[in-house]
């Protein structure tokens, strides 16, 4: 059962942040969803109101009146990617797609937001481990994946998939943190391909991971 008539609620702050990729999938698929804005103070006041005491949280509402909710941004993205058609229906192909998307998140998150030194310092220092090892290895790895698919702006075939959305999202995060990727890189080609999608309805800039949710 695909539950194509389900509707969704994203519980998160009035910012794109860690909910940006999930909101992008909902928007690009045409799914019906609303935002429920939650402040950090509200979360701190009653952590028991959220599955793991933090946000984002996704609420799935069914036409029969039932609903369920769950947390963790990666789990939310995983669920929506499968539910909204951003993964192959073939299990083997789907897990390869998920592995690429998860690698993007874990490799970049660990360095950009969970590193031993602030990312701004690492980016500014040409001799930092980030600049000399982590970033070049990440770029080389994902350029190989994109070149293997013909450098056509997608990771797999000629259609939008979960890893495309994940990389486009993180490409903008990297740019916002001062990380430069060469214009000739396949990563830039993918970013431009995703940006050009008609499904954005002119709202691509509004779905920036460092932005607030448009009214």
CB 56 within 8 A of CB 22: yes
How many Å apart are CA 3 and CA 84, to the nearest integer? 10
Omega of the bond leading into 56 within 30 degrees of 0 (cis) = yes
Joined together, the tokens standing for residue 73 give 């941004």
Share of the chain above pLDDT 70, in %: 98
CATH topology of domain 7-84: Glutaredoxin (3.40.30)
pLDDT in tens, 2-56: 557 999 999 999 999 999 999 999 999 999 999 999 999 999 999 999 999 999 9
| Residue 110, pLDDT score | 86
| pTM attached to this predicted model | 0.94
Query: Domain boundaries in the chain?
Result: 7-84, 91-200
139 Cβ contact list (under 8 Å, min separation 6): 181, 185, 187
How many Å apart are CA 23 and CA 77, to the nearest integer? 9
CATH topology of domain 91-200: Glutathione S-transferase Yfyf (Class Pi); Chain A, domain 2 (1.20.1050)
pLDDT in tens, 105-126: 999 998 888 877 889 999 999 9
| Residue 215, pLDDT score | 65
pLDDT in tens, 180-199: 999 999 999 999 999 999 99
Which band of pLDDT confidence, cut at 50, 70 and 90, is reported for residue 1? very low
């Amino acid at each position: 059962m695909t539950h194509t008539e389900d509707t969704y609620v994203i519980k998160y702050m009035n910012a794109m942040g860690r909910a940006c990729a999930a909101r992008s999938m909902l928007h690009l698929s045409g799914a019906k969803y609303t935002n429920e804005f939650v402040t950090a103070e509200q979360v701190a006041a009653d952590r028991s109101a959220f599955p793991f005491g933090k946000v984002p949280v996704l609420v799935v509402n069914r036409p029969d009146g039932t609903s369920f909710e769950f947390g963790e941004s990666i789990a939310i993205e995983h669920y929506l990617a499968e539910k909204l058609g951003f993964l192959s229906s073939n299990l083997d192909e789907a897990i390869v797609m998920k592995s690429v998307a998860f690698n993007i998140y874990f490799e970049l998150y660990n360095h950009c937001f969970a590193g031993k030194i602030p990312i701004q310092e690492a980016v500014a220092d040409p001799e930092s481990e980030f600049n000399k090892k982590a970033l070049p290895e990440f770029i080389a790895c994902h350029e190989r994946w994109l070149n293997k698919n013909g450098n056509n702006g997608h990771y797999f075939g000629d259609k939008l998939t979960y890893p495309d959305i994940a990389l486009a999202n993180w490409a903008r995060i990297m740019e916002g943190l001062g990380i430069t990727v060469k214009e000739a890189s396949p990563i830039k080609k993918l970013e431009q391909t995703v940006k050009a999608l008609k499904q954005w309805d002119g709202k691509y800039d509004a779905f920036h991971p460092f932005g607030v949710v448009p009214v």
